[in-house]
Structure formats: structure tokens, C-alpha cells
Amino acid sequence: MTDDEHSGEFDAFRSDIEDAERRIAREIDPGVRGFIVAILVFVLLGSFMLPHTGNVRGWDVLFASHGAAAAALALPSRVFGWLTLVFGVGFSMLALVTRRWALAWVALAGSAVASAVGLLAVWSRQTVAAGHPGPGVGLIISWITVIVLTFHWARVVWSRTIVQLAAEEQRRRAAARQQSKTLLDSLDNHDENKPPDAGREQP
């Protein structure tokens, strides 16, 4: 087998390794945190069945039903409910099932926004006009849960980001070494194919 055939097989093998590395880099491995995230998602789902203010449950806040209008719900409460449902529950479940790094990023970003909006939702219920109920146990539980969920998604995403950066650096170094080796080989071949100096002076 010639050197060119060996080089071709090595390049094909290296290409397969790089493809596998890229696939792995697009995935997450939450480990124990995946189990914690799953529990937090179920807690968020359960919080929608609890009262968010007075007798108005979380599902009623989302769909403005069963006395939601009479409770004088402000916009932050509805926005927080939908952000929690879409990102805290929906994208978190998708990220856990597919293990896609991009979906984990979306779940992290949405949960972070939901945490901030949750503060406004609680504040809006505490400053509501007299005669209207304050924040319910469901609202408090969902707000605390989404904050904890944001923390765990941040740890998962950040750990994967470090791995991706390390893999990228390793690929760049390997490419630089291969390029240097190819350049040296081409110079050696050029020297070997160079004809002897026919015009050398005779002593």
C-alpha cells in the first residue's frame, strides 16, 4: 500500500472523528441535573393547578377564566404564566428528550426572562388595589421553581460550552500540525525530485 493510500485512509478516518465530535458538541449530557430539571418541570406543571391569587389558579391566569378578570390580574402575571409554560416546561422537556444544546440554550434564556417577569408578577399582586387578593402559593412556588430551573440550565449549558471550546481548540491545533506536516512533506519531495547540478565545475 502506497503512502498516498495510507494518507487517504487517515484523512477519511480523521473526517469521521471530526464529524462525531461535531455531533457530540451539539448535544448535552446533563447527568444528575437532568433528573433535577425533570422534577422541576413537574413542579411547574403542578403549580398551575394551585391558586396564583385568591381562588384563581394558574390555568385560569393563562386563559383568563374562572374569575381571572374579577381578580384584577395585571399583565405581568399572564406573561409570567406563558413564559413559564413555554420555556420552563415546553423547551425544558424538549431539551431533555432531544439533548440538543441549542434547545437547552433556549430553555435557559426563556427561564431567565421568566424569573425576572415573575418578580414583577409577585410585585403586581402585592401592590394591587385594596379588596383584591395578593400573590397565591402557586405563584410563589412557580417563581421560585423557575429561578432554580434557570440555575441548573445555566450549569448544564456552561459546562457544554467549555467542552465545545476545548474541542474547537484541539481541532485547530490538529489542523495546524497537519498543515505544517503537509508543507514539510512537499518541500522534501521537491528536494528529492530536484535533478543534480550538471554544471558543477571539475577540479
Q: What angle do CA 12, 13, 15 make, to 5 degrees?
A: 65
From CA 104, how far away is CA 94, in angstroms rounded?
8
Burial class of 89 by CB neighbour count within 10 A (0 to 12, 13 to 18, 19+): buried
Q: For the full predicted model, state whether its pTM sits above 0.75.
A: no
Q: Model confidence over 43-65: pLDDT tens digits?
A: 999 999 999 888 888 888 888 77
Q: Kindly state the average pLDDT of the residues 98-117.
A: 93
Q: Assess whether pLDDT exceeds 80 at residue 183.
A: no
Q: Assess whether pLDDT exceeds 60 at residue 188.
A: no
pLDDT band, residue 68 (cuts 50/70/90): confident
